[in-house]
Amino acid sequence: MTGCLRATQVSKVFGSGDVAVKVLDDLSLEFLAGEKVAIVGGSGAGKSTLLNILGGLEQPTAGSVQVGDTDLFTLSESERSQWRNRHLGFVFQFHHLMPEFSALEAVAMPARIGGVSKTNALETAKAMLSELGLADRMNHRPGQLSGGERQRVAIARALINRPACVLMDEPTGNLDPATAAQVLELMHGLTFEDTAFVVVTHDPKIAAQMDKQYRLEAGKLCLE
């Protein structure tokens, strides 16, 4: 497998002087295409901060993040936004679906933003939703979908551009255990050989299902 996302000597400090807090301390790690990785740690350990930096959403105090040959933080904000839409996918605890858009429209949106024609974007979105068991829910809006269905729509949206990496922040944290298990089972059934999945979670059962587990503690990462 080839590396698709790499962080090198990443640190993050909040505040300055006597009140400075180092949340991330000289972290280096690489995620490989096709693998599923969990990052675990206690509340306030910096898991979401690390995920935001890996996704180019938050600037590190030091270090670099590369996807392929591109260093995210050498790009301008607008360049990074466009590049992120094409090469990274995001799934959060809350689905962040716009209430006025159907599931089909929501999933097609990243492709449309990336310049794909409306026809092709909708066809790809239909295929993604069907793969995630939502063939009969495509024209429903978020308010007409269950929590598990909304999160599956969010996963389809994250995957439509076949990104190098999908970053997930507590993707089942807002679901009941049975629904969370169904969503995870569907996620594991997806076959994306060129895409890495990075899942931040506090749930050891979820972490145990991944190919690798890292623990973030006192600003450092260790492989479990």
Q: Is residue 178 part of a domain?
A: yes
Q: Is residue 141 part of a domain?
A: no
75: domain CATH number is: 3.40.50.300
The whole-number pLDDT of residue 3 equals 55
Q: Is residue 139 part of a domain?
A: no
Q: Is residue 187 part of a domain?
A: yes
Name the domain count of the chain: 1
Q: Which residues contact 95 (CB under 8 A, 6 or more apart)?
A: 142, 150, 151, 153, 154
The whole-number pLDDT of residue 119 equals 94
- In order along its 224 residues, the chain shows pLDDT tens digits of 455 788 999 999 988 777 888 889 999 988 888 888 999 988 777 888 999 999 998 999 999 998 878 888 999 988 988 888 888 888 887 767 888 999 999 999 999 998 999 999 999 999 989 888 889 999 999 999 988 888 889 888 988 998 888 898 887 777 777 777 777 777 766 666 778 889 888 888 888 888 899 998 888 888 87
The whole-number pLDDT of residue 1 equals 44
Residue keyed to tokens 């990496």: 165
Distance from C-alpha of 83 to C-alpha of 69, rounded to nearest angstrom? 12
Q: Is residue 37 part of a domain?
A: yes
The whole-number pLDDT of residue 208 equals 86
Residues 29, 40, 12, 96: what is their CA dihedral angle, to the nearest 10 degrees? 110
Q: Is residue 112 part of a domain?
A: no
Give the domain range for residue 66.
3-101+147-223
The pTM assigned to this predicted structure is 0.86
Distances (CA, A) of 165 to 60, 106, 149, 192: 19, 19, 22, 10
Q: Is residue 131 part of a domain?
A: no
